[in-house]
């Protein structure tokens, strides 16, 4: 594992979780269980992205315009989560991420500048402006650029047991471009943050483990 991968863990926070009244304590409980790495959190578009998808149907906006509007929605949600988690640092670019101190706590990553200005210069095939690309693939691409850092998908459910990346796509758990965006990653973990294991009554503590499979699952590459 290279230095970047050892330092960072990329975390996709599903937009479907933003309606949880106790999202902040759940997220803090999960973060407390993880390894001592800089958690770089990419927040999904959630209901805002769903609204843009509807507007695309009504007005035929096209995939390119819709894609960048969804990126704006992700930026808004990044600021929302930063307000909910004030101990986290909100960063707006890969360059800014590399400048933060090693001992920094959680980081909220606004992906707008990364996708518009940075990612196209760093990879041969930038992520396409398509409905096939969501925050799943964006987080995976960030993890790849950060040296193959571990990717964790915090969502409202888990995929079926023994899922592969391909079967997770077929089940609609991750987006259609994810197998390409995540192909160089060595570990992809899925976590059900809606699980009772993370609630405020009898939930996990800093010294406990995840518990049963009902809480997390590691996707197989094949």
Tens of pLDDT, residues 43-82: 999 999 999 999 999 999 999 999 999 999 999 999 999 9
C-beta separation of 179 from 39 below 8 A: no
Note the Cα 87 to chain centre separation in Å.
Answer: 18
Q: How far is CA 128 from CA 46, 59, 90, 176, in A?
A: 20, 21, 25, 11
Give the mean pLDDT of 166-181. 96
pTM: 0.91
> How far apart are the C-alpha atoms of 139 and 9, rounded to whole Å?
10
Closest residue by Cα to residue 219 from 149, 157, 166, 144:
166
Query: Which region among 25-29, 130-134, 152-156, 158-162 has the lowest average model confidence (pLDDT)?
Result: 158-162
Query: Which region among 95-109, 129-143, 188-202 has the lowest average model confidence (pLDDT)?
Result: 188-202
Q: Which residues are within 8 A (CB) of 209 and not within 5 positions of it... i.e. 6 or more apart?
A: 33
Topology of domain 3-218, CATH: Carbamate kinase (3.40.1160)
Distance in angstroms between the alpha carbons of the first and the last residue of the chain: 21
Query: Which region among 15-19, 175-179, 200-204 has the lowest average model confidence (pLDDT)?
Result: 200-204
> How far apart are the C-alpha atoms of 166 and 208, rounded to whole Å?
32
pLDDT category of residue 218 using cuts at 50, 70 and 90: confident
Q: What percent of the chain has pLDDT over 90?
A: 77
Give me the chain's average pLDDT, please. 90
């Amino acid at each position: 594992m290279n230095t970047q991968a050892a330092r960072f863990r990329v975390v996709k926070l599903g937009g479907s979780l933003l309606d949880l009244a106790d999202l902040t304590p759940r997220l803090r409980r999960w973060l407390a269980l993880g390894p001592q790495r800089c958690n770089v959190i990419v927040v999904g578009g959630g209901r805002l992205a769903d609204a843009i998808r509807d507007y695309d149907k009504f007005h035929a906006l096209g995939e390119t315009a819709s894609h960048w509007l969804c990126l704006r929605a992700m930026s808004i949600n990044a600021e929302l989560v930063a307000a909910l988690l004030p101990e986290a640092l909100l960063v707006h670019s890969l360059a800014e991420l590399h400048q933060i101190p090693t001992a920094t706590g959680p980081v909220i990553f606004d992906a707008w500048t990364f996708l518009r200005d940075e990612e196209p210069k760093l990879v041969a095939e930038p992520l396409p402006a398509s409905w096939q690309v969501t925050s799943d693939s964006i987080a995976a691409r960030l993890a790849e650029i950060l040296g193959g850092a571990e990717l964790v998908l915090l969502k409202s459910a888990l995929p079926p047991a023994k899922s592969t990346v391909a079967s997770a796509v077929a089940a609609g758990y991750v987006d259609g471009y994810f197998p390409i965006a995540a192909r160089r990653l060595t570990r992809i973990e899925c976590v059900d943050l809606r699980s009772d294991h993370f609630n405020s009554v009898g939930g996990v503590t800093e010294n406990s483990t995840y518990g049963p499979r009902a809480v997390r699952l590691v996707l197989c590459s094949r």
